[in-house]
Amino acid sequence: MKTQSSYVVLLSVFVLSAFTFLDHLQSPPVICVLAVKESGLTVKQQLNLCSEATSDAPVRCFIYSTDVGMTLDQRLRLCQQANSDAPFRCYENAINRGLTLDQRTQLCRKAESTAPNQCFDSAVNLPLTNDERVTLCGETQTDEPILCFNNSAQIGLTTSQRASLCRKS
């Protein structure tokens, strides 16, 4: 395990230094693909991870998520379109909330902070399943989804429909 962790640290240093060196030569999506080209990802997976990259964040996220028990698909979903380390920090902070790895991935993909975790915790007393709370709170940056959900009680929708309505409010 220590060897694998050392490998991840060395790979992270290499990738980050490559981004710094190549940044003025090529655009972030190209640098991203170059950074993961020898990682064993298929071309389709490389494109999924690196398309729309605006920095080295998708690669950093992908590297950080190596030793946390996620499948390759979960790592790709969490890290694609990452703009910072926030999706991985959110994922780590989602431990002990009774969520599956897929639910944690869905809650935290595209996160810009740990706000999705805070929203999820704030929704604990609402009449929602974990899946519905993930739907409500995934990708949020504020507590507005909770306010919206509470305000939507009178419009005759199911809790699932209300969670979908108020997602990303």
Domain for residue 26, yes or no? yes
d(Cα 59, Cα 23) in Å, to the nearest integer?
14
d(Cα 60, Cα 134) in Å, to the nearest integer?
24
Residue of 38 and 116 predicted with greater confidence: 116
Range 94-112 average pLDDT: 94
Domain for residue 94, yes or no? no
**Enclosing domain of residue 5:** 1-83
d(Cα 110, Cα 152) in Å, to the nearest integer?
25
Domain for residue 12, yes or no? yes
d(Cα 137, Cα 161) in Å, to the nearest integer?
14
Q: What total of structural domains would you count in the chain?
A: 1
Q: Does pTM surpass 0.95? A: no
Residue of 72 and 20 predicted with greater confidence: 72
How confident is residue 25, by pLDDT bands cut at 50, 70 and 90?
A: low
Torsion region of 82: left, alpha or beta (phi above 0 gives left; psi -120 to 50 gives alpha): beta
How confident is residue 11, by pLDDT bands cut at 50, 70 and 90?
A: low
Domain for residue 2, yes or no? yes
Domain for residue 132, yes or no? no
Q: How far is CA 26 from the centre of its chain?
A: 25
State pLDDT tens for residues 125-145: 999 999 999 999 998 998 899
Predicted confidence at residue 9, as pLDDT, reads 46
| CA dihedral of 64, 168, 117, 147, whole degrees rounded to 10 | 170
- Does residue 98 register a pLDDT over 70? yes
Domain for residue 27, yes or no? yes
d(Cα 8, Cα 15) in Å, to the nearest integer?
10
Residue 118 makes CB contacts below 8 A (sequence gap 6+) with: 143
Domain for residue 99, yes or no? no
- Does residue 167 register a pLDDT over 70? yes
Query: DSSP readout, the chain?
Result: -HHHHHHHHHHHHHHHHHHHHHTTTS-HHHHHHHHHTTTT--HHHHHHHHTT--SSHHHHHHHHGGGSS--HHHHHHHHTT--SSHHHHHHHHTTTSS--HHHHHHHHTT-SSSHHHHHHHHTTTSS--HHHHHHHHTT-SSSHHHHHHHHTGGG---HHHHHHHHTT-
Domain for residue 96, yes or no? no
Compute the residue count for the chain: 169
How confident is residue 60, by pLDDT bands cut at 50, 70 and 90?
A: very high
